[in-house]
Amino acid sequence: MPAVEPAAVSWFKGYLTPDEQRALTARCLEFLNGPAGGYVPTVRGGGRMRVRMVCLGRHWNALTYRYEATRADHDGAPVPPVPEEFVRLASRIAQDAGFDVAPDVCLINEYGPGGRMGLHQDKDEGRASIEAGLPVVSISLGATARFLFGGLKRRDPVEAMLLESGDAFVFGGPARLRYHGVSRIVAGTAPPALGIDGRINLTFRRY
């Protein structure tokens, strides 16, 4: 059971130690640069996203906005499972925010200097997961991102915050469907020890 009452939104600054950041970055690069690694998705309508993505557990199809067992919108490759150490870490972060959940989906997004992501809702998970308000758990590595966090409607006011390397961000419960995005990556802010210039973001959810 959660140790604390669930908070709709929790921002844990500097949650990961430098050593944890290095280890997690290296693991993410294995997935991004390995077989069936990261690619730039094309969304329905023909636009290309400004991130390089690889999915674990289930693949998010950018053309259908559905989760699948293979990368049907790219190369048909099967989706590797979420590593147990990833599940333990995300579950611990969620518990610190008051949620009891073991994520089974992880999206790894790699942002270059011009990377960004428009305002959107994470609403493609299973109906039971959404209705239960099971949280999205986000971990930032590398360069600082100007993160936008809005309301339940696209036109609601948006708050901008700077997510730095090692930060964890959780939103669930009544905040589960709040709009969010990344407007820019702040150049020159990645810790040199990570060996990357851009940003890597992991987002965990329960399908």
CATH value at residue 174: 2.60.120.590
On whether residue 30 sits in a domain, the answer given is yes
Among residues 110, 90, 86, the alpha carbon closest in space to that of 33 is found at: 110
Angle between helices 84-96 and 18-33 (to 10 degrees): 130
On whether residue 136 sits in a domain, the answer given is yes
Write out the residue range of the structural domain in which residue 24 sits: 9-205
pLDDT digits (tens, 9 = 90+) for 15-67: 999 999 999 999 999 999 998 899 999 999 899 999 999 999 999 999 999 99
Give the count of domains, the chain.
1
On whether residue 175 sits in a domain, the answer given is yes
Averaged pLDDT, 62-88:
97
Q: Which residue's entry shows tokens 């077989």?
A: 35
CB-CB contact of 42 with 48 (8 Å): yes
On whether residue 113 sits in a domain, the answer given is yes
Give the type of residue at 37: G
Task: For 168, list phi and psi in degrees, rounded to 5.
Answer: -120, 145
On whether residue 4 sits in a domain, the answer given is no
Residue 154 and residue 178: Cα distance in Å, rounded? 9
Q: Which two tokens stand for residue 15?
A: 């949650």
pTM: 0.96
